[in-house]
């Protein structure tokens, strides 16, 4: 989250230091675009700071607290991704192109949630209360085709850091566009 937050700070400074950007956004016809910019910037900062702080301390030793923390972290990243998309759309004029790390973090959330109503009956997943920590998250996967149960693991810290780098690249595109449109 540190790369995202660093580019976010540059975007904020660029916007605050520009007269053209605020003049554009403060026109009544651009009120919705300004609201999208403003809300996106707050959401990116709030989610980034919260996830970064949580990663420093890791998940609670209490399984019930850790369980809700895991889902909170995953949802915060989803919210952040949506805010980055909205910011990109408002400043650049289009939705960003996502890479594998962006999609991976979304897939992890969906896989661990199981989405039993929205998936085929060939696989079911279950996220237990004692799932691990950022370095090693474990969930249960049942595969109907093989009639086997496995316990896959992944390193959430590594996945978040890869997403952080990829999202920072997308935010850098926003920064470049801001500088070009509103010096």
Which tens digits make up the pLDDT trace of 121-159?
677 888 888 999 999 999 998 888 888 899 999 999 999
Q: State residue 85's pLDDT score.
A: 98
Q: Count CB atoms within 10 A of the CB of residue 41.
A: 17
Q: What's the pLDDT tens digit per position in 64-123? A: 999 999 999 999 999 999 999 999 999 999 999 999 999 999 999 988 887 555 555 677
Q: Is residue 28 part of a domain?
A: yes
Look at 180 and 125; give whichever has higher pLDDT.
Answer: 180
**How far lies 3's CA from each of 28, 49, 90, 163, 164, in Å?**
33, 11, 21, 10, 6
User: Is residue 138 situated within a structural domain?
Assistant: no
**Spatial distance between the Cα atoms of 43 and 3, rounded to a whole number of angstroms:** 15
Q: Rounded distance, CA 120 to CA 144, Å?
A: 10
> What is the predicted pLDDT for the residue at 91?
96
Q: Which pTM value belongs to this model?
A: 0.92
145, part of any domain:
no
* DSSP states of 58-99: -S-SSHHHHHHHHHHHHHHHHHHHHHHHHHHHHHTSSPPPP-
Q: Could you tell me if residue 79 is inside a domain? A: yes
Within a domain: residue 122? Answer: no
Higher pLDDT, 118 or 164: 164
172 within domain boundaries:
yes
Query: Are the C-beta atoms of residues 167 and 109 closer than 8 Å to each other?
Result: no
pLDDT of the residue at 84:
98
Which tokens go with 26? 């403060």
Predicted confidence at residue 98, as pLDDT, reads 92
Lowest-confidence segment of 1-10, 39-48, 73-82, 139-148 by average pLDDT: 139-148
Query: How many independent structural domains does the chain possess?
Result: 1
**137 occurs within a structural domain:** no
Q: How many CB atoms lie within 10 A of CB 72?
A: 13
Q: Report the pLDDT value the prediction gives residue 119, as an integer from 0 to 100.
A: 53
């Amino acid at each position: 989250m540190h790369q995202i937050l660093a580019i976010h700070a540059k975007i904020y400074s660029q916007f605050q230091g520009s007269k053209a950007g605020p003049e554009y956004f403060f026109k009544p016809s651009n009120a919705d675009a300004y609201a999208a910019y403003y809300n996106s910037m707050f959401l990116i900062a709030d989610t980034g700071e919260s996830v970064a702080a949580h990663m420093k301390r890791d998940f609670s030793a209490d399984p019930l607290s850790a369980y809700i923390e895991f889902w909170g972290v995953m949802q915060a990243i989803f919210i952040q991704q949506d805010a980055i998309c909205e910011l990109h759309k408002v400043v650049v004029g289009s939705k960003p192109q996502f890479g594998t790390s962006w999609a991976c973090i979304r897939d992890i959330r969906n896989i661990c949630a199981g989405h039993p109503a929205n998936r085929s009956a060939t696989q079911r997943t279950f996220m237990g209360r004692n799932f691990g920590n950022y370095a090693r998250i474990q969930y249960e996967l049942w595969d109907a085709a093989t009639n086997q149960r496995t316990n896959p693991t992944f390193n959430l810290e590594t996945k978040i850091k890869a997403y952080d780098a990829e999202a920072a690249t997308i935010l850098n595109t926003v920064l470049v566009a801001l500088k070009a449109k509103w010096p």
